[in-house]
Structure 1
Amino acid sequence: MTKVVNYITEAFEELKSNVTWPEWAEVQRLTIVVALFSILFALATWGTDTVFTKVLGVFFNWLKA
């Protein structure tokens, strides 16, 4: 159990002393960038799915005829 406590203590010390944290303004800016790209990627995926659904529907209806 002492190894776990020691590991957690060392991890927090590492985070406090050796990690360079970005400024709050940069964090906000990058969060917005990530959110926008996530929305764009979701819309692109939805659009591709819609197009393939319609194309496959037309194809299978053509095969039925």
Structure 2
Amino acid sequence: MTKVVNYISEAFEELRSNVTWPEWSEVQRLTIVVAVFSVIFALATWGVDEVFAKTLAGFFNWLKA
């Protein structure tokens, strides 16, 4: 148990002393960038899914005819 407590305290010390934290304005800007790219990627994925779904539906309708 002592090793676990020692590990956790050393990890917190590392975070306080050795990590360079970004400015709040940079955090906000990068959060917006990630959100925008997430929406764009989701829309692109949805679009490709719709195209494949319509293509497969058309193919199977063609086979039934």
Q: Do both share a fold (TM > 0.5)?
A: yes
Q: 1: CA distance between counterparts of 2:5 and 2:39? A: 40
Q: CA deviation digits over 1:19-60, x for unaligned, max 9?
A: 000000000000000000000000000010001100100000
User: TM-score w.r.t. structure 2 length?
Assistant: 0.98
User: TM-score w.r.t. structure 1 length?
Assistant: 0.98
Identity over aligned pairs, percent: 82
Structure 1 unpaired stretches of 5+: none
Q: 2: CA distance between counterparts of 1:41 and 1:3? A: 43
Q: 2: CA distance between counterparts of 1:6 and 1:24? A: 31
Across the aligned residues of Structure 1 and Structure 2, the Cα RMSD in angstroms comes to: 0.4
The match for 1:24 is 24
Structure 2 unpaired stretches of 5+: none
List structure 1 segments (4+ residues) > 4 angstroms apart after TM superposition: none
